[in-house]
Every structure is written in C-alpha cells, then in structure tokens.
Amino acid sequence: MPETLLIANPAPLNCLTDDEILFRDNVRQFAEDKIRPLAKEMDEKAVFDQDLLGQFFQLGLMGIEIPEQYGGAAGKFFEAILAVEEFSRVDASAGVIVDVQNTLVANAILRWANDEQKKRYLPRLAADTLGAYALSEAGSGSDAFALQTKAELRGNDFILNGRKLWITNGKEAGLFILFATVDALKGYKGITAFLIEKKFPGFTVGKKEDKLGIRASSTCELILEDCRVPKENVLGEVGKGYKIAIETLNEGRIGIGAQMLGVARGAWEYASKYAQERKQFGKLISEFQGIQFQIAQMATEIEAARLMVYNAARMKDAGMDFVKEAAMTKLFASQVAERVTSLAVEIYGGYGFTKDYPVEKYWRDAKIGKIYEGTSNMQLATIAKMVMAK
C-alpha cells in the first residue's frame, strides 16, 4: 500500500471558519508528511520519535490555548480538537500526546493555577515540556477517587507517598498534575491536586507498559517515596482536587472523541481505497453491494461522530454546559472507532490480519477509546443521570 493516500475532504465546510479550515489543512499536511512515515516503526518499537515531538512544540501544537503572553498560540479548544483528530487519523499515539497536553494538562493549569504557577509552567508547556495527568492507581480505576496516594504537610512542603498507574506521557513528561489525598477521612473532599516536576526528590517514573495499541505513546507507573513537593505547588486549593479532576476530565473526553474520530477516519480511508483495488470473482470488491453497504454505513457513523465531537467542542468554547454532550461524544465516537476499524480489517480479508497492512493497527489503537478517561459504562451512567433528571 502507498504511504500517502488521496484524501477526500471529510469535514462539512459549513462547520468550520476559513481560519479553522486553514489550520486543519496545515495540521493534516504535517501529519501526512512527518507522522505517517514514522507511525509503523514507532508502533513496532513502542517509542515515540523525539525529533517529531520537538516539531510539535515548534509548530505551537503543544500550547494551543495557552495565551501569547506565556508563549502559546492563543487558540481555541476547538482547534486543539482539530489537531487531535488529524494526528489520530495517521497515528493515534501522536493524537493522544497532543490531546493530554492540551485538553488535560494545559487546560487544568489555565483554569485552576494561580498567577505565579501560570508564569512558571505555561511557558515551559508551550516551549518544550511535555505534561502528564496522574489520577489512576492500581485500586482506583472507574472508582478513580479511591486514592491511596497520601500527602502530608510538613513545614513548607507536602510529603507524598504512593504509586500511580496508566499515566500517559509518563516517560517523556517533565511536569505532572498528580492527585493525592491529604485526609482520607474526608473522602473526596480530602483529594488535592499537585504540580510535580520530574526532578523533585522522591519522584520516580517506573515501568513502561507493553500495550495492545497506542504503543508509541508511553504509559507508565509513577512511584512517590517521600516525594517532597513545595506547598506553593498545590493546584487550586487543598481539598479541591476532586472538582479539578472531574471538570478537567469532562473536557478531556471531547479530546478522546476527536482521537477516536481520527482513528475511524484513517481506517475507513484505507478500506474504501482498498475496496476499489482488490478484485474477486472477476470484479472489484467495491462493486459488490455488501461491501458498498459496509463502506456507506462506516461513512455515516463517522459523520455522526464528527458532528458530535465538533458540537461538544463548540459548546465548551462558548462557555455552555457540555458535560452530557462530552460523555455522549466519547461513548459514541469510541463505539464507532471500534466498529469501523473492525470492518476495515474484514474488508482487507486475510491481509487485514497482518502487520504488513495498516488497518490492524487502527483496530488495536481503537480499543483504548472505550477504556481511558472514563469507561463506556461510566459515560452511560453520566448520561443516564443527566437525561433522567429532567
């Protein structure tokens, strides 16, 4: 298969302004030229290319919403979503790196940090420092706030002890938003968010997971052994970590929706093209109605997912309540990605089951969409609570 595809224009133009179209097209071209040629090798080696990561910073894609005064691009959340979609179309690992940096880490600091923390960390996030969001632990998956990591104030520092698991960007990150409890008796009201630098004493990045998909994106364990964190590195206020985590994850779920949208698009493009090249029984398989219906169904679901992703992102930028829409977006887009990538493998037949062809990677990358930043069942619980309350 050729490395570069002919790209049909997938977005309804009336959903985008001229500036957004230009931004999207520039990001798409960069993804085609720079990311796609490296995607297979990065997946096989499970290592993200550091030169490529440096280019993300140079292009301003790691600080899209960060104001210009801090060295950022002063863009909108919607533009971050476009970047995640376009990167994920060629490599979901690239998409999730940009997603976590913008929709979780930078977003949380912009919203909750004090002026001094913004001056200290936002320029670094925009220039050269990758961020990570450390909430999950071994015993707190969907019950994300059953935290065992403890924080104790001693003088001017908090001393943290515990372990975090499944932390995206863990290997490369220089800054971590990490959640711990200062008082277990207070339950979620004791949870506090901390800004932790990789160099802080007592902080160690542990095992890097060997994953099914998004393999080039590092997912690591974090180990805190009497980790000393200055009390001025509390993000927000002591005891406000639950609120910070919940509200940040609501925004992050739109980013996961964009990632899954990009994954589905990438797989569909390959499958549609292959169907117009592969012959069976003396004619192209795209001439068989069964294949035509599959491709049409895939395209329809991708379009529906796109409109949900874009709508939720627009609502966030407009300052509207988007919690229900974010949950719906993540739920539906992850379902679409799983279905579309699976069908893409089937359209390729036996070839689709081999690593010589690209669709098996899309299928592997799609599975995580139903799991991280809130499982599908957790999204359904959120949606049910909100729609039944009316």
Reported as half-sphere exposure (CB side, CA atoms, 13 A), residue 44 has a value of 8
CA distance 273 to 292: 12
| Residue 20 annotated in active site | no
How is residue 140 written in tokens?
């707190």
Burial class from Cβ neighbours inside 10 Å (0-12, 13-18, 19+) for residue 213 reads buried
Q: What are phi and psi of 322, to 5 degrees?
A: -125, 10
In terms of phi and psi (left: phi > 0; alpha: psi -120 to 50; beta: otherwise), the region of 234 is beta
Find out whether 315 and 238 touch, Cβ atoms under 8 Å. Answer: no
N residues, the chain: 390
Q: At 92, which amino acid appears? A: A
CA-nearest of 150, 146, 170 to 160 is: 150
CA distance 200 to 223: 12
Question: Helices 92-99 & 359-366, crossing angle to 10 degrees?
Answer: 40
CA distance 223 to 207: 10
Among 20, 137, 172, 373, the one annotated catalytic: 373
How is residue 130 written in tokens?
């990758």
CA distance 355 to 149: 40
Relative to beta strand 203-208, strand 283-284 is unpaired
CA distance 234 to 110: 14
How is residue 255 written in tokens?
């980013």
CB atoms inside a 10 Å sphere around CB 289: 8
CA distance 278 to 1: 12
Q: Report helix, strand or coil for 70.
A: helix
Find out whether 305 and 264 touch, Cβ atoms under 8 Å. Answer: yes
Q: Catalytic residues, which ones? A: 373
